[in-house]
Chain A
Amino acid sequence: MEESTFNLPIGPQHPFLKEPAKFDFEIRGEEIVGARMNIGYNHRGIEKACEARNYYQCMYLLERVCGICSHSHTTAFVQGVEEIMKLEVPRRGLYLRTIVCELERLHSHLLWLGVAAHEVGFDSLFMLVWRDREAVMDILERISGNRVNYAINTIGGVRRDINEEQRKKILDAMGVLKKRLEHYAKIGTNEPSFVARIRGVGTLPAKRAAEMCAVGPFARASMVDTDVRRDDPYAAYGELDFKVITYDSCDIYGRVIVRVLEMIESCKMIEQLLANLPEGDIALPKVPRKAPAGVALSRYEAPRGEDVHFIRSNGSDKPERVRVRAPTLANLEAATESVVGAFVADIPIAIASIDPCFSCTDRMAIVLRDPKNGTRVATWEELRRYGVEWYGKNKGIRF
Chain B
Amino acid sequence: MEVIKPLLYILVFPGFAFQFVFSTYLEWMDRKFYARMQNRRGPLYTGYNGILQPVADIFKLFFKEDIVPAGADRFMFSLMPILGLAAVITAGLYIPVWFFTPYNSFEGDLIVVLYLLSVPSLVLFLAGWFSVSPFSLIGATRVLTQLFAYEVPFFLALLTPAVVAGSWQIRTIATFPWTSGAWWAIPIQVLAFMVALLTLQAKLERVPFDIPEAETEVVGGPLTEYSGKKLAMFRMQKDILMLVGSAFIAALFMGGFPGGIWLGGLQVVIKTAIVVLLLSVVRAAFARIRIDQIISFSWKYLAPASLIQLLVVLILKGNGVF
Contact = CB atoms under 8 A, between A and B. Distances in A.
A194 to B, nearest CB: 4
Interface string B270-296: 000000000000001111111111000
A330 B138 CA distance: 31
A193 B288 contact: yes
6 contacts: A15-B215, A30-B138, A124-B285, A127-B38, A128-B39, A193-B208
Interface in A168-205: 191, 193-194, 196-197
B299 to A, nearest CB: 16
Contacts of A131: 39
Given A8-B134, A14-B219, A193-B288, 14 more contacts: A118-B216, A120-B288, A121-B210, A121-B287, A121-B288, A125-B287, A191-B286, A196-B289, A196-B290, A197-B287, A344-B217, A345-B291, A346-B290, A347-B217
Given A193-B286, A196-B289, A121 B208 contact: yes
For the complex of A and B, 4 pairs with smallest distance between CB atoms: A121-B288, A122-B287, A127-B38, A16-B216
Contacts of A346: 290
Contact of B39 (A7, A119, A122, A127): A127
Interface of B: 37-40, 134, 138, 207-208, 210-211, 214-219, 284-293
Given A121-B216, A345-B211, A347-B217, A197 B290 contact: yes
Given A122-B288, A124-B285, A345 B214 contact: yes
A128 B288 contact: no
Nearest to B284: A124
B257 to A, nearest CB: 32
A343 interface: yes
Nearest to B39: A131
A117 interface: yes
A124 B288 contact: no
A193 B210 CA distance: 13
Contacts, number: 78
A239 interface: no
A6 interface: yes
Interface of A: 6-9, 14-16, 30, 117-125, 127-128, 131, 191, 193-194, 196-197, 343-348
B94 to A, nearest CB: 33
Contacts of A15: 215-216, 219
A36 B285 CA distance: 35
Given A8-B134, A127-B40, A119 B290 contact: no
A196 B288 CA distance: 9
Nearest to A342: B290
B291 A30 contact: yes
Contacts of A16: 215-217
A344 to B, nearest CB: 6
A8 B143 CA distance: 18
Contacts of A9: 134
A123 B207 contact: yes
Most chain B CB within 10 A, of A118, A125, A196, is at: A196
B301 to A, nearest CB: 12
Given A15-B219, A118-B216, A345-B211, A124 B37 contact: yes
A194 B287 contact: yes
Given A120-B288, A124-B284, A128-B39, A8 B219 contact: no
Nearest to A17: B216
A9 B137 CA distance: 13
Contact of A345 (B208, B285, B290): B290
A185 B40 CA distance: 22
Contacts of B292: 30, 343
A119 B210 CA distance: 12
A197 B289 contact: yes
A16 B37 CA distance: 24
A117 to B, nearest CB: 7
Nearest to A16: B216
A188 to B, nearest CB: 10
A264 B166 CA distance: 60
Nearest to A195: B287
A35 to B, nearest CB: 15
A16 B290 CA distance: 16
A347 B293 CA distance: 16
Contacts of A8: 134, 138
A120 B218 contact: no
A343 B288 contact: no
Nearest to B220: A15
B212 to A, nearest CB: 11
Nearest to A121: B288
B39 to A, nearest CB: 6
B285 to A, nearest CB: 7
A344 B111 CA distance: 36
A171 to B, nearest CB: 24
Contact of A344 (B207, B218, B285, B289): B218
Nearest to B208: A193
Contact of A196 (B40, B134, B285, B293): B293
Contacts of A122: 207, 286-288
B165 to A, nearest CB: 35
A345 B145 CA distance: 14
A123 B38 contact: yes
Contacts of B218: 344
Given A121-B208, A124-B38, A127-B39, A348 B216 contact: yes
Contacts of A125: 287
Nearest to B219: A15
A363 to B, nearest CB: 27
Nearest to B210: A121
Given A15-B219, A127-B39, A348-B216, A343 B285 contact: no
Contacts of B138: 8, 30, 344
A119 to B, nearest CB: 5
